[in-house]
Amino acid sequence: MIQLKSEREIEIMARGGRILAETVQHVEQRVAPGMTTADLDEIAERFIRGKGAIPAFKGLYNFPASVCTSINQEIVHGIPSKKRVIKEGDLVSVDIGVRLDGYYTDSATTVAVGKIDAVSQKLLDVTRAALAAGIAAATSDNHIGDIGAAVQGVVEAAGFSVVRELVGHGIGVAFHEEPQVPNYGKPKRGARLTPGLTIAIEPMVNVGKPATRTMADRWTVVSADGSRSAHFEHTVAITRDGPRVLTSLVNEASARPTVAV
């Protein structure tokens, strides 16, 4: 069942979202060759707890860490490890959740480590633009399908693939709420976007084909063909005045989804 939030609840989520946005920025600025993914996990957890919030991922479905760290062909849910060393040229996806006063927010970014190749840079640009397009479509006169169609249009126009086996989701009192928010779809299909709905919009994009597989750790999801992947995400509230991004330090609701393809 879809749970709509009151203005009071959205303001609580916005406070948690601000902490999460600061955490994502804090971690993003510290990613460097020679670090381990466990280092990123420690940095994020210390920062979140220092702000009086709780790392949402730690223990969620028995996940063992505070952030998901996924590198190159890893799409999502990579487990931080002291043995996983970040290298020049890597793409590092960092997915983080925060719980504050009983409400959850969720956000992700993919970071280029030093100099990357042109295809990887295009992947980052396209995925970021796809997120902007999805957010722009999250208006109260639209449906879930409008978000997916907007994301899919940007990604496929660039020659990349939308991951279909993983989707965005409602969020708030529970980390995963209804409805599911696919990154593909048709306009005016699916649940109506009603003011008070809070959702995580999170394009996951592969350079190659969309198929995925799960590694032996039962968490890490990778592209089946080994191609690189990127992941960007924001928690968004549907309001009568348009989409409100709760996990950004700037107003991204009006970001124009343009990218050179």
User: What's the pLDDT tens digit per position in 100-118?
Assistant: 999 999 999 999 999 999 9
Within a domain: residue 29? yes
The predicted structure's pLDDT at residue 253? 45
Percent of the chain whose pLDDT exceeds 90: 95
What does the buried/exposed string (b/e) look like for 173-193 if buried means 16 or more CB atoms within 10 Å of the residue's CB? Answer: eebebebebbbbbeeeebbeb
Q: Is residue 1 part of a domain?
A: no
Residue 259 scores a pLDDT above 70: no
pLDDT value of residue 256: 36
Residue 261 has pLDDT above 60, yes or no: no
- The yes-or-no verdict on residue 142 having pLDDT over 50 is yes
Residue 257: band (very low, low, confident or very high) from pLDDT cuts 50, 70, 90: very low
| Model pLDDT for residues 69-103, shown as the tens digit of each residue | 999 999 999 999 999 999 999 999 999 999 999 99
CA distances from 129 to 44, 115, 151, 155, 189 (A): 25, 21, 8, 8, 22
Kindly state whether residue 255 falls inside one of the protein's structural domains. Answer: no
In a domain, 210, yes or no: yes
Strands (E), 168-218: 168-170, 177-181, 198-201, 204-206, 212-214
At residue 254, does pLDDT exceed 70?
A: no
User: What CATH number should be reported for the domain holding residue 38?
Assistant: 3.90.230.10
Q: Is the pLDDT of residue 169 over 60?
A: yes
Please report whether residue 87 resides in a domain: yes
Average pLDDT, integer, range 183-206: 98
User: Would the pLDDT of 27 be above 60?
Assistant: yes
> Burial code of 24-41, b = ≥16 C-beta within 10 A, e = fewer?
bebbeeebeeebbbbbbb
Instruction: Note down the domain range covering 137.
Output: 7-245
- How far CA 159 is from CA of 27, 67, 123, 226, in Å, comes to 30, 30, 10, 16
Burial 110-141 (b: 16+ CB within 10 A, else e): bbbbeebeeebebbbbbbbbbbbbbbbbbbbe
The 221-223 sheet, strands edge to edge: 74-76, 221-223, 212-214
197-241 confidence digits (pLDDT tens): 999 999 999 999 999 999 999 999 999 999 999 999 999 999 999
Report the alpha-carbon distance of residue 21 to residue 191 in Å, rounded.
28
79 DSSP 8-state letter? P
Average pLDDT score over the chain: 95
pLDDT exceeds cutoff 50 at 175 = yes
Task: Please say if the pLDDT value at position 37 is more than 70.
Answer: yes
CB 13 within 8 A of CB 105: yes
Instruction: Judge whether 52 lies within some domain.
Output: yes
Q: Which two tokens stand for residue 183?
A: 């990154």
Contact between residue 170 and residue 178 where contact means Cβ atoms under 8 Å apart: yes
Sole residue written with tokens 């999801």: 221
Looking at the 3D structure of the chain, how many domains does it have? Answer: 1
The token pair that represents 180 in the structure block? 């599911």
250 pLDDT tier (thresholds 50, 70, 90): confident
Q: Is residue 252 part of a domain?
A: no
This prediction has a pTM of 0.95
Residue 113 covered by a domain: yes
pLDDT beyond 90 at 251: no
